[in-house]
Amino acid sequence: MRSRKRIAATAVICIVFFALAYFALYLPFYKFGPESYATSLKKVFSIEYIKTILPLFIITVISTLGIILTAYIRNAIMKKSRSNAYMYSKRGHGNAPTQKPALFMILRWLTMILFSFMMIWGGLLFGLRSTNISLPVFSCPANNVQMTESSCYFLSHPKDLFEELPLKNIIIFYVSTLLFIVLLGRVMCGFLCPMGLIQDVMDKLRKKTKVKGISPNEKMYSAFVPIKWFMVLLFFGIGFIGGNFCNFCPAITVSPILAGIGVSLYVSGFLMIFVLIGGFFKRRLFCNICPLGFIVGLFHKVSLFRIRKDCQACTECGACYEACPMGIKTIYTEREKTDVTEASCIMCGECIRCCPEDNALSLTCAGKKLFTASRKNVMSGYAPNRKRG
């Protein structure tokens, strides 16, 4: 019965996306600007630049209205039916008690902010750009002034790769991409990806505004599976039929526009609205269906970064499962293996940050511990509450 439902759900999703793809060919979400305004710093402050970022402003306004409307409708439903209240809570997957920030988490945020800034404006400000080395993260390749290329375009358009680049550049492309995947794995998702930063910022905004987040369950994560597989098939397959994955990628709505580069938004504009609204209520929603993250995750067994577990120290409290924005359950259920690294793990460190047992969980690089669970750090979040009491 479950398999039939999943097949039906996959079929419906495919029909919807293909319908959107058909209309995207004739009806752009928003078309604006010439090919590029980002040729000098002077134009960043020009009227043309303001016109260029207008679509991003429109997306932000629509997303804000969508968040307000969603929160209002959800609260109205909860008032009418208390039975639905269990679906929503301040704590849930990807959410955890406020506590004193660990140095590791501070460094993660600083790295995400710095990398995103350099990917968007680095080439424009410093005139530095590497056209051969590619990072497998969603830093939009349409932004032709970023410092380092993203590998997503040529991975989803292999025909263009072999037709446009000489053999030497093709070899450098694959070697650099595989090298970063092996060395970093999905650390790139948790530390480098600009789309990850956007979603984490949305999660912070929700917490600051004290809006209750949606607490996902296993059914929700199961629903993500057919969507993720469709995105993967779309990522690899659309180029062979003359399509363009960039028309579906929400990343194109951010990096090029902020750099002052004019592009046309098709289905990608609508998907970015979905990412912003969904990311507000469910942390790292897009990461659960991201095709590039899935590709990187396939190599998780050879990555230098690992999540380690001391099963003897684990008390089965489930805090790691509640905190995980990717809904990884094995990190909580595993009772024998020390290596609990999963393909979907983005190495954000939330499970370690929320683990109340010393050394029960740790993030390692080449066998050396970088971040370890600490009871002291977890209890720091409850100190203010005890003082008030």
pLDDT at 95: 53
Confidence class of residue 98 from pLDDT cuts 50, 70 and 90? low
Residue 182's pLDDT band (boundaries 50, 70, 90)?
confident
Q: Mean pLDDT lowest for which of 123-137, 197-211, 304-318?
A: 123-137
For the cut 70, the answer to whether the pLDDT of residue 71 exceeds it is yes
Would you state the pLDDT for residue 110?
Answer: 94
In this predicted structure, the answer to whether residue 173 has a pLDDT above a threshold of 50 is yes
pLDDT of residue 237: 84
Q: How confident is the model at residue 341 (pLDDT cuts 50, 70, 90)?
A: very high
Enter the tokens of residue 387: 């003082």
What is the predicted pLDDT for the residue at 361? 95
Question: Does residue 37 register a pLDDT over 60?
Answer: no
pLDDT of residue 39: 47
Task: Lowest mean pLDDT of 34-48, 101-115, 336-350, name the range.
Answer: 34-48
Using 50, 70 and 90 to split pLDDT, how confident is the model at 344? very high
pLDDT averaged over the chain?
81
3-22 residue pLDDT tens: 666 566 666 666 665 565 55
**In terms of pLDDT, which residue wins out, 214 or 190?**
190
Determine contact, residues 285/198, Cβ cutoff 8 Å.
Answer: no
Question: Residue 38's pLDDT is what?
Answer: 43
Residue 375: band (very low, low, confident or very high) from pLDDT cuts 50, 70, 90: confident
In this prediction, residue 50 carries a pLDDT of 76
Kindly report, residue by residue over 305-331, the tens digit of the pLDDT.
999 999 999 998 889 998 999 999 989
| From 97-106, 169-178, 308-317, 339-348, the region with the lowest mean pLDDT | 97-106
211-266: pLDDT as tens digits: 888 877 888 888 899 999 999 988 988 877 778 888 889 999 888 888 888 888 88
